[in-house]
Amino acid sequence: MTTTPRPLRVLHRSYGGDNAKPRPEYYSKLLALAALLRAADALDVAPELVFINDGHMPQERLSVMERFGEVVSVRKGGSDTNSYREMLADENARSGEPNDLIWLAEDDYLYVPDALRQLVAGSAAMPDADYFTLYGARAIDVARSRRTAVIRPEPAAEGTGQVVDVDEVSWYRAAATTSTFGITRRALSEDVRLLRHFSLTGGAWDSATCKAIQGLAPFSAKHLRRDFLPFREVPPALWPKSYVRGALRIASIPLSMRSAGRRRALLGSDPELIIHMEAPDDPPRALSARTQKIDWAAVASETAEWANDHGIPVVIPSAAGGTP
């Protein structure tokens, strides 16, 4: 087992505007950017930071990006899918070592300070692993999952299963995450076609992607029937879109039918080391005991303090525990 850290390259993909999702009181994209930079600052070896921007970027964020790393504008933006597919294709065209570690980051996550340090440590301890997530708590029952994923009732690493402890983190077999995750250059090269195709399948395509890389069925028969028989659920004007989505999903299934030797393991951290800054889930998702101990409002406040000490003007409401 090696303890040599893999080189880390961070691709931070950001949209210049925002959406209408309900957010925690402390949320801002500038705070998310500062949290990523704070986590990068905690690494023993500075990572490569690349900021991939879609649309006009507010100057306060752009100036921070230009100060800390390389800034790249998306050529064909306008959607999450477009920028994601372009990022994967461009990164795959780069040279590098197969063992290089790449962190794909969206622009609305909050990081604990040692999130990337724990990612690098976990990666070094598990040199054969190719995919990592720092967010999500649904765990696969490895013994019972075949073509269909069986989810353990206990969150994260709390049940039985394949768990590797590295420092203060337990790494377990995760079921799914968002499009913020870690990947080796080897896996990117081998899986780029799958990753880019699944982003076109609509709905929770990130979750479907996570199933596919693990050789699990990405879509249920119920979902596919709904795509091709949309008559009771969607208006006639949307039927063509539903048929196209169904066709893309059917075409994706062969990509997920992997031999045992080509199935990837998606390794998740317990506790979660990042949080998607959206309003709480309804119903609440199950969290491990270690994740529940994290006070994310306090993390936001401490991140704002760090940011201001480093010339990044993050302001969060005092009600969230931050600076007025």
- Taking only the tens place, the pLDDT of each residue in 199-216 is 999 988 999 999 999 999
Specify the higher pLDDT residue, 231 or 82.
82
Mean pLDDT of 171-182: 96
Q: What span, in angstroms and rounded, lies between the C-alpha atoms of 108 and 36?
A: 10
- Taking only the tens place, the pLDDT of each residue in 108-118 is 999 999 999 99
DSSP string for 224-259: HHHHH--TTTS-GGGHHHHHHHHHHHHHHHHHH---
How does DSSP classify residue 284? P
Is 39 in contact with 105 (CB distance < 8 Å)? no
| pTM score | 0.91
